[in-house]
Amino acid sequence: MKSLDRSKPKRQMGLKDQSILCINLGSSSLKLALFEASNLKLQAREKKKKKDTHFELKDDLNHSIYHQALPDNAFDNWWQCLFAYLAKNDIRLLASGHRVVHGGPYTQPVRMSEDNLQALEGLIPFAPFHQGENLKGIKKMLSFDAELLQIACFDTSFHETMPRKEKQYAIPERFYDQGIQKYGFHGLSFESILRQLNDTEPSLIGKRLVIAHLGSGSSLCAVKSGKSVATTMGLTPLDGLIMATRAGKFDPALILNLLKQGYELAEIETIVFQESGLKALAGEADMKRLLERTDTKAQQALEHYVYSIQQHLALMVAALGGIDGLIFTGGIGEHAKTIWYTVCQEASWLGIRLREIDSTKLPCHISAEESEVDVWVLKSQEERIIAEHTKKLALQAC
């Protein structure tokens, strides 16, 4: 394998002539974004799910600029359409940035090297349904241009500022020394929210905030003076809130019990990561459909979900010693008004009061004037943060 670590970007030309490609590849979804390297203006984006049979790029006004059927209608062939678009439009890349869920010991974005790639592959057991897919994006880009600078940006890095009392589990210390600790995730999303708040409500940046990233994977983060001090996910993206197909918090002895019953480790992994959460409670994991259902199972699943958020919100507030701002983001956080409205109603003991809202065009300030807590709904912009980190490291390599 050729070395992935390059002393400088391949093409020496002005930034205005180059682009930065950001890839967020998961097991069942893909997000792509192409930015002008000079000013990070969005040029094109794609968001697709595994069931989709077409590849479509849109511009910053949401107009379709490229549309093509996926070869063999296969999700895994997205890269063929992407490479065709880049070649057809003579788009020259400064670098490619990638979301990587688990960074382990890496606390900052890194330029990829053979050693780095091997180390990140070693973390696959801690994010079994994320990490390997993330790394596939890097390998696909290498097949396109082996000389292209590849930057990995980690969801875990944002939480490096958490104190030891939050990171360390109460198990023998030798495990902590081996890196067995709470890492937390969704860091790129949390970072993007702080960046937006700095523009929309800068007075909140130095205060006590809870950011709720609610999507198929969900977590809360307690932020104090712009730094993560606590979060709900742990060593893996399984812990914390009830999620679409993930169990969230449960007694770890359940795993021991299943092993004693004769279940294989792979079976248990599938159960807790892919067959639990809302899917286990209601028979399906899609929040939009659950909100449309009126049956008892769906209603109970939604009650479980909101209750899980309430419990963990209290933990985050305790870690902060109070709360000044609450921000909802992620696919559910941005679009499921019923969820954040119910969460805020149940959290009225914190002094949260909401105003009447006709439209939730983002960014949206949803708290009433008399509310003791500022409440916002903001769009997660992970790809933008990846682009910023990628540009910074690419320029350092020049």
Q: How far apart are the first and last CA of the chain?
A: 23
Return d(Cα 388, Cα 88) in angstroms, integer: 26
pTM (two decimals):
0.94
* pLDDT, one tens digit for every residue, the chain (398 residues): 334 444 444 445 568 789 999 999 987 789 999 999 999 999 999 998 878 889 999 999 999 999 999 888 788 889 999 999 999 999 999 999 999 999 999 999 999 999 999 999 999 999 999 999 999 999 999 888 999 999 999 999 999 999 999 999 999 999 999 999 999 999 999 999 999 999 999 999 999 999 999 999 999 999 999 999 999 999 999 999 999 999 999 999 999 999 999 999 999 999 999 999 999 999 999 999 999 999 999 999 999 999 999 999 999 999 999 999 999 999 999 999 999 999 999 999 999 999 998 777 899 999 999 999 999 999 999 999 999 999 999 999 87
Please indicate, yes or no, if residue 177 is contained in any of the structural domains. no
Asked whether residue 235 falls in the same domain as residue 327, the answer is yes
Asked whether residue 257 falls in the same domain as residue 341, the answer is yes
- pLDDT tens string 285-317: 999 999 999 999 999 999 999 999 999 999 999
Tell me the C-alpha to C-alpha distance, in Å, between residue 162 and each of 168, 221, 322: 10, 10, 17
Asked whether residue 216 falls in the same domain as residue 362, the answer is yes
Return d(Cα 259, Cα 282) in angstroms, integer: 26
Asked whether residue 210 falls in the same domain as residue 110, the answer is no
Give the number of other Cβ atoms within 10 Å of residue 53's Cβ: 11
Domain with 283 in it: 187-382
pLDDT at residue 292 in the model: 98
Please indicate, yes or no, if residue 8 is contained in any of the structural domains. no
Asked whether residue 43 falls in the same domain as residue 101, the answer is yes
CATH number of the domain where residue 327 is located: 3.30.420.40
The answer to whether the CB of 318 falls within 8 A of the CB of 339 is: no
- pLDDT tens string 228-284: 999 999 999 999 999 999 999 999 999 999 999 999 999 999 999 999 999 999 999
Please indicate, yes or no, if residue 309 is contained in any of the structural domains. yes
Question: Helices (DSSP H) in the chain: which residue ranges?
Answer: 78-88, 114-121, 131-144, 164-167, 173-177, 187-200, 253-260, 265-274, 277-282, 287-292, 296-320, 330-335, 337-346, 382-397
Asked whether residue 125 falls in the same domain as residue 200, the answer is no
Asked whether residue 193 falls in the same domain as residue 275, the answer is yes
Tell me the C-alpha to C-alpha distance, in Å, between residue 70 and each of 22, 24, 67: 20, 18, 9
Where does residue 384 fall: left (phi above 0), alpha (psi -120 to 50 degrees), or beta otherwise?
A: alpha
155: annotated active-site residue: yes
Using the 8-state DSSP alphabet, how is residue 127 labeled?
S
Please indicate, yes or no, if residue 131 is contained in any of the structural domains. yes
Please indicate, yes or no, if residue 34 is contained in any of the structural domains. yes
Q: Number of folded domains in the chain?
A: 2
Return d(Cα 357, Cα 253) in angstroms, integer: 45
pLDDT at residue 11 in the model: 47
Asked whether residue 296 falls in the same domain as residue 368, the answer is yes
Q: Which of 59, 155, 177, 286 is catalytic?
A: 155
Asked whether residue 136 falls in the same domain as residue 243, the answer is no
Asked whether residue 258 falls in the same domain as residue 126, the answer is no
Where does residue 193 fall: left (phi above 0), alpha (psi -120 to 50 degrees), or beta otherwise?
A: alpha
Asked whether residue 206 falls in the same domain as residue 77, the answer is no
C-alpha atoms less than 13 angstroms from C-alpha of 166 in its C-beta half-sphere: 22
**Tokens 């209603």, located at residue:** 299
